Amino acid sequence: MTAASRGVVYSLLTVVFVLLLGIAALLAVAYHRHQRLEDATQDLRRNLTQQEGQIKNLQQRLEDCDTLEVKAPVDTSWNAATVSDSIRVVSQNTPGK
């Protein structure tokens, strides 16, 4: 083998080695990216499950609120007039025929 052909062989081996290192680096980057995306997907699923639980809890609380009997609050203010007081005032101020 001549010196020139040895140089070509060494150059080709070097190029192949560098290409293999590049492919390995790209595969490592792709693997780490895949792991990050998988972790993010698991976090989103966990958050979605928690949100669904909160929605069900709030729906149950809303249903419980709807079934309670609703009563109007008693007006205890000092100037509240009763219906009989209003009728008496109207009848006193209405001129007779």
d(C-alpha 40, C-alpha 32), whole Å = 12
d(C-alpha 53, C-alpha 60), whole Å = 11
Tens-digit pLDDT profile for residues 31-67: 999 999 999 999 999 999 999 999 999 999 988 886 6
More confident site: 11 or 69: 11
Tens-digit pLDDT profile for residues 72-83: 666 677 765 555
Helices (H) then strands (E): counts for the chain: 2, 0
**Would you state the pLDDT for residue 71?**
64
Whether 86 shows a pLDDT value over 80: the answer reads: no
**Would you state the pLDDT for residue 4?**
85
Sequence letter at residue 46: R
Whether 18 shows a pLDDT value over 80: the answer reads: yes
d(C-alpha 87, C-alpha 94), whole Å = 11
Whether 25 shows a pLDDT value over 70: the answer reads: yes
Distance of CA 17 to the CA centre of its chain: 48
Whether 97 shows a pLDDT value over 60: the answer reads: no
